[in-house]
Amino acid sequence: MMDSHNQGVRSTANPFKVFIAGGCYSGLAAAINLLDKCDSALDARIPVSITIVDERSGFFHVIGSPLALSSKDYADKCWVDFADVKILQRPDVRFVHGRVQKVDPETRTATILDSASQAEVTETYDYFIAATGLRRVWPVVPQSLTRKTYLLEAGRHIDAVRGSAHPVLVVGGGAVGIEMAAELKMVQPDVQVTLAHSRAQLLSAEPLPDEVKDRALELVHEAGVETLMSHRLVNSTPRPGGDGYDVEFTNGHRMVASVVIEAISRSVPSTDYLPPGALSAEGLVNIRPTMQIASGENADSHFAVGDLINWSGIKRCGGAMHEGRYAGLNIHQLMLQELSSLSEQKHTPEFQELQEIPPMIGLAVGKKGLSYGPEVGMDSGEDVLKLFFEGDLGFRIVWDYLRLGQDPVKV
């Protein structure tokens, strides 16, 4: 559906303005795929101006977090400042280090709190993409917002684990806890690592077959991690002299741990800048299969992608990049529609539509991987780790898939 927001003919002086909140997997995928289409228009490049706002000053490979908090060498690789994401170093793309405070779909304006100046700035846009994901707690992901403070944060955590006289306790047997415990043990094999989970099975919150959950437990044991199943943490109290923590569980079990890592995600959708009417009861964004927001003012020009959408399936990086790509392609279709409005041959948008996503998972457990999808079933082993994650928890796969290191198109 056309609207009258834009005034005048599109040109480099009056480009389509696209505002992307969030510069991780889905946000970057949206920008890169949209630029591909705008650059390759048959008669002339479509003029576009993209603003990407993120609380972090760089791209952080969230999947790599368990290894980034185990290995200083990997931590250095896992965060790339936006200034070093080569493909987006072009005059029609601007990164803003800040937080989106509010979006007003009716006036198509976004208010940003700039991290450097702490000043509020209001920007107008033609198309908006919400890609801010879920707000995850420490140590599921580092909380630092700049590369320098992130490296200090990760380094302190790694040093604390390395010098442990008692077991390192990881609490929470979801995907993050499993990977964190296994990566710690793999990088620092001399450290005793114990994984505690409140339920009888690992991955208990996920809609996966029992065989997958049972195999995950076997792989954790094969990685050299000890487990305490059906152990719910009551508290962990610092011991006198800084010698670790006294840990107590609801079943009465007690232990001493050098470090306690709570890997219970408690993730909250980062959507408080959107109108409440756009959100589900859980704070996720209700969308159409086109990635457009389901309802509200100017809903056709507002999109949401990645972990913050109210959609089927387990939240995954691959899904986020796929959704970002669809948003980019569909915005391009809307641009073509507007550009054809004055010609005799009107363009009818041909949208990409997201299908229902069945439960599927890829899990890195030390030197082995575990995968499951309803059509292909379960598989595990070193070859599965190589296929899904290679040797760096998927960093190179994502980097190359998004072409983040590719030279930018000259504008």
Burial of 297 (0-12, 13-18, 19+ CB in 10 A): middle
pLDDT at 114: 95
Q: Which tokens is 242 given? A: 């800084």
Residue with tokens 């008692």: 166
- The letter for the amino acid at 165 is A
pLDDT at 302: 98
Q: How far apart are the first and last CA of the chain?
A: 30
How open is the CA angle 136-57-36, to the nearest 5 degrees?
100
Q: Which tokens is 276 given? A: 């409440």
pTM of the complete model beyond 0.85: yes
CA distances from 45 to 41, 48, 127 (A): 5, 9, 18
| Dihedral Cα 343, 348, 349, 354, nearest 10 deg | 180
* Cβ density class 15-40: b for 16+ within 10 Å, e for less: bbbbbbbbbbbbbbbbbbbbbbbbbe
- The letter for the amino acid at 178 is I
Q: What is the pLDDT along the chain (411 residues), one digit of tens a residue?
A: 344 454 578 999 999 999 999 999 999 999 999 999 999 976 789 999 999 999 999 999 999 999 999 999 999 999 999 999 999 999 999 999 999 999 999 999 999 999 999 999 999 999 999 999 999 888 778 899 999 999 999 999 999 888 788 999 999 999 999 999 999 999 999 999 999 999 999 999 999 999 999 999 999 999 999 999 999 999 999 998 888 999 999 999 999 999 999 988 678 999 999 999 999 999 999 999 999 999 999 999 999 999 999 999 988 999 999 999 999 999 999 999 999 988 888 999 999 999 999 999 999 999 999 999 999 999 999 999 999 999 999 999 999 999 999 999 988
Omega before residue 276 within 30° of 0, cis: no
- The letter for the amino acid at 155 is G
Checking 398-404 for CB contacts under 8 A at 24+ apart, the result is 398/25, 398/61, 398/63, 398/317, 398/321, 401/321, 402/25, 402/28, 402/29, 402/32, 402/87, 402/321, 403/32, 403/87, 404/28, 404/59, 404/80, 404/85, 404/86, 404/87, 404/88
pLDDT at 32: 98
Distance CA 285, CA 126 (A): 19
Render 197-246 in DSSP notation, one character per residue. -SSSSTTTTS---HHHHHHHHHHHHHTT-EEETT--EEEEEEPGGG--EE
Q: Which tokens is 227 given? A: 């487990």
CB 303 within 8 A of CB 331: yes
Distance CA 85, CA 407 (A): 9
pLDDT at 185: 96
pLDDT at 41: 76
Give the phi and the psi of residue 158 in degrees, each rounded to 5: -65, -40
Give the phi and the psi of residue 359 in degrees, each rounded to 5: -60, 125
pLDDT at 2: 40
Question: Which residues make Cβ contacts (< 8 Å) with residue 66, sequence separation at least 6?
Answer: 176, 179, 180, 182, 183, 184, 364, 393
What does the H/E/C string look like for 100-157? EEEEECCCCEEEEEECCCCCEEEEECCEEEECCCEECCCCCCCCCCCHHHHHHHHHHH
